[in-house]
Amino acid sequence: MNYGSALYHGRRIVVGRVGDAALDLTAASLGSEFAPLFADGSLDALLAAGRPTWQAVHAAAASWAEHDLIPLEELTMLLPFTVADYVDFYASEQHATNVGRIFRPDGDALTPNWKHLPIGYHGRAGTVVVSGVDVVRPSGQAREPDGSIRFGPSRRLDIEAEVGFVVGTPSRQGIPVPIADFAEHVFGVCLVNDWSARDIQSWEYVPLGPFLGKSFATSISAWITPLDDLDAAWTAPPVRNPAPLPYLDDSPSPAALDLALEVRLNGELISRPPFAGMYWTPPQLLAHLTVNGASLRTGDLIASGTVSGPERDQRGSLLELSWNGTEPLQLAGGERSFLLDGDEVTITATALGREGPITLGEVTGRIVAQPATP
Ligand code: CA
């Protein structure tokens, strides 16, 4: 059962998705020991409660499911939890290779560190928005082909189809979280669109990495899929060469997650990125993030980086799909290299569940022009 937070008749409630309806967990849990977990209408208290409680709630919710069902269209979905820290990785070899070829055509596609550690950066938690919220086209500096510097609305606004991991149980500062403890800390999975302004990004990112080209907005799905529902979706990761250092060695319990993503632009399918092929797996991302003693907080959002597969129609960004604008996509609504105002992008995903396919929460967002300043 996917979990979310919604406004219903002016009240904020926690909801569990049951097909085309939602169970009001705030109401259904009243009188039970779990009621305090849902009282404020967000997932924050549930996330902080830890794995044994997550499993107990899951078991109890099965007996609540006959009561308090609400049609989805009567709900206004909200950001499901308070985002603490946001970390974004770069864990797809195909994506990193494509970006390297586009941005550094004369150098090696992968940087020398890429197969030794999962590259990442700390993003901006305060601009994470829930699916359905419009995204304002950012303005910034960009360098023109003639070397002049332009300021204005981004002309290369892009998507990044990613998978996000939501931290529940915090960790102690100074104590790394080993690969084997992933499921003790991570509550579940969401879908992420990490909007990116390529013209701003390519001018600013040397030497400290992404900044204003990424921080204006990140959209996440309204529904969080608990790890417990994804038991059957774990699979073998790609072969790693060279072998990772011991703290990144996942050979005792290799754990790639087999999620099939689909990306639609204005309703038209443009890509099917396969998450199973990511070079670095979710437990490795968490282990690397904390290996220096950095602690986890309840509500941390850890994104995978753009999911791209080896085929052209498996690329998770327009930068790659249009090869930086040199091979525009031919769509029913016209040619597209980067996003125009009014464009709407939706990312969905399915996985194998214990009793058949399960659907993750979708993430959708529409680009709007910056409002004129009075
Ligand atoms: Ca990203």
SS (H, E, C) 293-336: CCCCCCCCEEECCCCCCCCHHHCCCHHHHCCCCCCCEEECCEEE
29 CA distance to ligand 1 centroid (A)? Answer: 37
**Is the pLDDT score of 135 beyond 80?**
yes
Q: What is the pLDDT of residue 163?
A: 98
197 CA distance to ligand 1 centroid (A)? Answer: 11
342 CA distance to ligand 1 centroid (A)? Answer: 22
Catalytic, out of 9, 58, 67, 95: 95
Distance CA 9, CA 12 (A): 8
pLDDT tens-digit map of 55-81:
999 999 888 866 779 999 999 999 999
Q: What is the pLDDT of residue 213?
A: 98
CB burial readout 236-271, b (16+ within 10 A) else e: ebeebeeebeeebebeeebbbbbbbbbbbbbeeebb
87 CA distance to ligand 1 centroid (A)? Answer: 9
Our answer to whether residue 95 is catalytic in this structure is yes
CA 5 to chain centre: 17
Q: Is the CB of residue 142 less than 8 Å from the CB of residue 346?
A: no
pLDDT tens-digit map of 21-50:
999 999 999 999 999 999 999 999 999 999
- Please tell me the pTM assigned to this model: 0.97
Q: Are strands 225-226 and 186-193 parallel, antiparallel or unpaired?
A: antiparallel
